[in-house]
Amino acid sequence: MGANKEEYIVEMRHITKRFPGIIANDDVTIQVRKGEIYALLGENGAGKSTLMSMLYGLYEPDHGEIIIRGKSVKFKSPSEAAEMNIGMVHQHFKLVDNYTVGENIVLGIEPMKKKFGIFPYVDMKEANERIRTLSKQYGLEVNPDALISDINVSIRQRVEIMKMLYREAEILIFDEPTSILTPQEVEYLLKIMEELRKGGKTILLITHKIEEIKKIADRCAILRRGALVDVLDVRTTSTQDMANMMVGRTVALKTTKSPAHFGDLVLSVKDMCVRNEDKVETVKHVSFDIRAGEIFAIAGVSGNGQVELADAITGLEKIESGTVTLNGQDITNETIRKRTEAGISYIPEDRQKFGIFMDFSLRDNFAIRRYYKEPFSKNGIFDFKVSEEYSDRLIEEYDVRSGQGGKTIMRSMSGGNQQKAIVGREIEEHTPLVIFVQPTRGLDMGAIENIHKQILAERDRGAAILLISLELDEVMGLADTIGVIFNGKILKIADASTLTSQDVGRYMMGVTEE
Amino acid sequence: MNENGLKAKLARFLTNERWSGLNVSLLCIVLMFIVSSILLLILGKNPFTAFYSFLAGNGFAMKSSYGAGSGMLSDFFQFLNIMAPMLLASLAFIFAYRCGLFNIGISGQMLLSGFVASVTIGYMKQLPRPVAVPLVILVGILVGGALGAFVGYLKFRFNIHEVVSTIMINYIISYLTGFFINSKFVDPISRASKIISPQARLTFTKVNIGGYLCNLPMGIVLAVVMAIIVHFIFEKTVFGFELRAVGSNRSAALYSGINVKRQIVFSMMLSGVLAGLAGVTYYLGYTNTILPKTLPGMGYDAIATALLGNSNPIGAIFSSMLITLFQNGSNYMSSVLGVAKEIASVITGILLLFSACGDYFRYVARGYLDRLADWTAEQGKVLKKEGDKK
Amino acid sequence: MNYINNMIIDGLAFGIPLFIMAVGAIYSEKSGITNLAVEGFQGFGAFCGAVFATLMSINSGLNDQVILYLAIVVAFFGGALYSILHAMLCIKFRADQTISGVVINILAVALTTFLTSQISGVLYGTASNKFMLGVSNRFTVPVISKIPVIGAIFTSVYPFEVLILILAVYMWYLMYKSKFGMRLRACGENPQAVDAAGGDVAKTRFIAVLISGGLSGIGGMCFAYSILSMFSPSIYLGYGYLAIAAMIFGNWDITSTFFVCVFFGLARAGGNQLCLKAGLSSLYTDLFMMIPYILTLILLMFFSKRNHPPKAAGEVYDKGKR
């Protein structure tokens, strides 16, 4: 490689991109060599995805130049980028559920044949054949005839990779590819990346996980708040240095946690089964207990029943059989409201979908746990003065930044402040049980640290905490007890200190024997 | 770009947090006037004459001549008579829409409640007015409410989308009532149902006010009172808050413990009640008779009227006034201008078209303001840099 | 026997134009645009065809049956032209698709009624609310039509029924076998996937709505030339909504929807024939007209979980959304 060191396959020079209200990229320059794995490291909102989206033709830069193989290009759409052999695996997969794997792969570049020499049609047979060949070549197992709706996330991701290979992409962009995988699946993916590099492909890897970069990347560009901080040789830089550079200050990589003091039994789930709308059993004979002052974390790959489990406890899903007891009170068949009143607080996974009303004011969103009770309303009619005072107090206490105080419409607030408002509202109830589902998804490191502190504070106050997270690091860092869920069953419950993340990962894949 | 230019002012006007709804509606109306004036000019007519005659046709301005016993006042009451069901129908739409539901079935609900009230109370000649009128209103409430609740039930029990079920039900009602009217209650001359007894009418006919014979509609009082009640429910009560919560974000409403299914049924039922009231004020107040197999177009117009009123009950009072102005004034306008009276419906249609784009106007305005803010920031930066250099 | 033959003949004559409107609706919805505007499309298309036919019969001296087919072509383009409005509202102007459909229907009634009276005023001197069109010729296939029951399918057929079926086969092929169809269906399920694969979501949807408008126009014109024998506001009898019912009943699948439409047609014609046979007054036909709607409702009660509308239908597609 040494000789043509300065021959870059991708150059992005002085790229600036604005979105309404923010500068996503501010004068960023990166240069990528052919056949290397080039990582982009940064927190959420640092501008990594935006930068890559421009390389992939989703957006056009406001200023700056993109040079591919020495040629200046201006992509108006992803198809123009694809013509230059650039492919991307998005964080949210772009797959059509009711199409087969093969159909998804060829969508957009359908191979055509003519029936009777006149009627053009999409020739899936030939396409599937080619997919099988590619599959063998790169050790990427996919079945082109399977329906997308029938396969799990890890295989869906392979389909996305196959899409790029089918298009003969040479420059492959991966956007946070490992965030939804088990450690074992991550290994598999990294192996495939190695395989691709050997095949002469150039890989751009967007991630916020430093260990992965350490394992596989050659070089690493660090972005912070839209600007390029530095480009490093991965081999010669320490993990701690990278972390500090990414956040812009010294960070604690491990959360410090005081020793646990368990109290009385708060939540007890016994032999619980849940079926979804299509009568498929999603939670199977699950039993566990949580005591006061304990963080019970459920680890598992997305889609293994953990969301349904939380929904069944809060009352969103009907419990098919078994019991749920909260502080000795049987709440198995209670309504959602009765359960929350019995002592459940809930920080949902998707805050904008479940946690708040975007078109309502901050005041109304704060009041959502109490509005139907006195003094907030009397005989079904509101006394708005009470909720105004309440919201003023919470704004103050939880440091929620809003333009016009309680009158601010939720939609106009930043994501971090929305999350602060939800957490504040729920914590303010001081309930014996607090459920956190993916509490830090999509937040930047500072906010994550803040939420983690609050979870620990709730535990130290004596609340029982049920934490459901797809991030294994979060589970390992916070849990007192870990339960691993696979295919609706809890395969293992153990004291967190007795498990390594490798152990947990194994259970997450459904392997029970050592 | 200019921070204080006309464009920026317009954009701020449209996105004003408190008045955005009203301002966008006003913009729609202005656009409507512009487009329909152009249309009238193409037809070789004077737009001012046209709009004046719309006003005159509704008793808001003087006609050139009046028939014996009628005057501005009689026209005005006639205007109120047809506005009442329009307002009630748009309130019906709003009630469901604020809860995130589309009641496309207002036509059917109006028709069935009007029909049931007509053939029961309307044809009981011996009932005195003080008994007949409350009964008519009660029938409207019950029939409309039952139909609405049925739609809500279909949604919550069988997960059938209300748009689909109401369309089906509309035509079932249309044919069913058509069959009964044609086979039992038809007036052989008018081919519509026989007219109802005067005691059951929701209009005091031919009341002499200052020498003019007027038809005083009770419906308008009912409609305006209903608008105020609906407004109160949505703004001040826990029930209304929960309906709005369900409409704003159904998942979040579920999470916060609101009984979403029950509120959906309630909202559909009350929407049906309002549609039922619209039905009785229309068929027993205004028309007095029912055309078989004809769904009232008002049921669909009401959707757009509600939209023009920004789905706000008080806004609906004004938007239904405006729409009624055109529809009711079309005959007089047509006689003055010599244009087919259907141009009034075309003008209404254009207005509806613009109001359907209301969100787009807001979206564009917001986008413009965001770009303006960036531009201003950039200018500031450039100025600062230049300043630094110096 | 005769009654059954008549039922089949009338049933097909009604069901097949209904079917082509439903195919249009399927195109639009499968691409992700909810379409309640079929009623307006078919009326406007038929209006354009009727104006054309009236002008031709006054000025061209062509045979009425030749004009008829030209008028159907014009109705196709008229419907497509009008549907641009729905496409613009839903795709460009981010209107709520249900509301847009309702508004489009209201406007169609208003516009065509107004223009009918304006144009007829110019053509005939006095304004009228209709254009008289006459009825299409029919043909009977020799020999095959003599087979009992099945022969009725080949008896007294409107030529446009055959044309529609040929067109429908092509539309089926386009939807399920072609590149365009594959992208179109993907647009209704996950537009992001199409966008990422280099397809143009807005353009695909636009074309789909236009197809819907055109096919609806054909349907409307065929009704004008059969049941109604004229164009007037009575074209807005709700057949557009019936086509939507058929589409839902057929689970957004062209083949199933075909059988549903034929069934709707047979139920309607069967009702008429039953009334004739039993010597009932024709008023009772109204009761039979309710059957398709009631059946659709009942079907949904039992199978609404198996009914799969396109996932992305009704949503504004925002390209910037990730």
- Chain C contact for A110 (CB, 8 A cutoff): yes
Distance CA A224, CA A26 (A): 10
Distance CA B193, CA B184 (A): 9
Q: What is the ipTM of this complex?
A: 0.87
Q: What is the pLDDT of residue B387?
A: 67
| Short-list C23, C13, C36, C30, CA closest to C214 | C23
Distance CA B326, CA B53 (A): 10
- Chain C contact for A109 (CB, 8 A cutoff): yes
When mean pLDDT is compared across A36-40, A212-216, A245-249, the lowest value belongs to A245-249
The residue ranges of DSSP E strands in A149-260, in sequence order, are 171-175, 202-207, 219-224, 227-233
Sheet of A71-73: strands edge to edge? A22-33, A8-19, A63-68, A71-73
The overall average pLDDT reported for chain A is 88
Q: What angle do CA B76, B78, B82 make, to 5 degrees?
A: 120
Confidence of residue B341 (pLDDT cuts 50, 70, 90): confident
| Short-list A18, A189, A217, A10, CA closest to A89 | A189
Instruction: Give Cα B254 to chain centroid, integer Å.
Output: 30
Chain segment B107-150, per-residue pLDDT in tens: 999 999 999 999 999 998 888 989 999 999 999 999 999 999 99
Q: What is the pLDDT of residue C228?
A: 86
* Facing residue for A108 by CB, picked from C173, C199, C311: C199
Cβ within 8 Å, pair C297-B175:
no
- Chain B contact for C122 (CB, 8 A cutoff): no
Mean pLDDT of the A450-454 span: 85
Q: Which residue has the higher pLDDT, C34 or A303?
A: C34
Distance CA C109, CA C129 (A): 12
Task: Compute the residue count for chain C.
Answer: 322
Instruction: Give Cα B390 to chain centroid, integer Å.
Output: 63
**E strand or H helix at B379, and its extent?**
helix B358-389
**E strand or H helix at A72, and its extent?**
strand A71-73
As given in the structure block, the two tokens for residue B327 are 């529809």
Q: What is the pLDDT of residue A148?
A: 93
Mean pLDDT of the C287-314 span: 85
Peptide bond into A375 cis (omega under 30): yes
* Buried-state track C158-182, b at ≥16 Cβ within 10 A, e below 16: bebbebbeebbeebbbbbeebbbbb
Q: Which residue of C has its CA nearest to B104?
A: C102
Phi, psi values for residue A402, rounded to 5°? -145, 145
Chain segment A69-113, per-residue pLDDT in tens: 989 999 988 888 888 999 999 888 899 999 999 999 999 888 898
Contacts of A49 in chain C (CB under 8 A): 322
- Assign B143 to helix, strand or coil: helix
Chain segment C266-288, per-residue pLDDT in tens: 988 888 888 888 877 778 888 88
Q: pTM of the entire structure?
A: 0.88
Q: What is the pLDDT of residue A366?
A: 94
The residue ranges of DSSP E strands in A107-185, in sequence order, are 112-115, 119-122, 171-175
Chain segment C96-113, per-residue pLDDT in tens: 898 899 999 999 999 999
Residue that has been written with the tokens 């502190």 in this structure? A453
Q: Which residue has the higher pLDDT, B382 or A410?
A: A410
Cβ within 8 Å, pair A337-B257:
yes
Q: Which residue has the higher pLDDT, A184 or A71?
A: A71
Q: What is the pLDDT of residue C322?
A: 37
Inform me whether the pLDDT recorded for C70 exceeds 80. yes
Dihedral of alpha carbons B204, B208, B214, B219, sign: negative
Chain segment A118-173, per-residue pLDDT in tens: 888 999 999 999 999 999 988 888 999 999 988 888 899 999 999 999 999 999 99
Evaluate whether A292 touches A264 at the Cβ level (below 8 Å). Answer: yes
Phi, psi values for residue C119, rounded to 5°? -70, -40
Inform me whether the pLDDT recorded for A221 exceeds 60. yes
Chain segment B183-226, per-residue pLDDT in tens: 889 998 888 999 999 888 898 888 888 788 888 899 999 999 99
Cβ within 8 Å, pair C177-A122:
yes
Evaluate whether C217 touches C48 at the Cβ level (below 8 Å). Answer: yes
The residue type at A258:
S
* Facing residue for A380 by CB, picked from B17, B237, B257: B237
Chain segment A197-212, per-residue pLDDT in tens: 998 999 999 987 888 8
**3-class SS letters over chain C:** CHHHHHHHHHHHHHHHHHHHHHHHHHHHHHCCCCCCCHHHHHHHHHHHHHHHHHHHHHHCCCCHHHHHHHHHHHHHHHHHHHHHHHHHHHHHCCCCHHHHHHHHHHHHHHHHHHHHHHHHHHHHCCCCCCEECCCCCCECCCCHHHCCCHHHHHCCECHHHHHHHHHHHHHHHHHHCCHHHHHHHHHHHCHHHHHHCCCCHHHHHHHHHHHHHHHHHHHHHHHHHCCCCEECHHHCCCHHHHHHHHHHHCCCCHHHHHHHHHHHHHHHHHHHHHHHHCCCCHHHHHHHHCHHHHHHHHHHHHHCCCCCCCCCCCCCCCCCCC
Contacts of C185 in chain A (CB under 8 A): 96
- Chain B contact for C105 (CB, 8 A cutoff): yes
Confidence of residue C321 (pLDDT cuts 50, 70, 90): very low
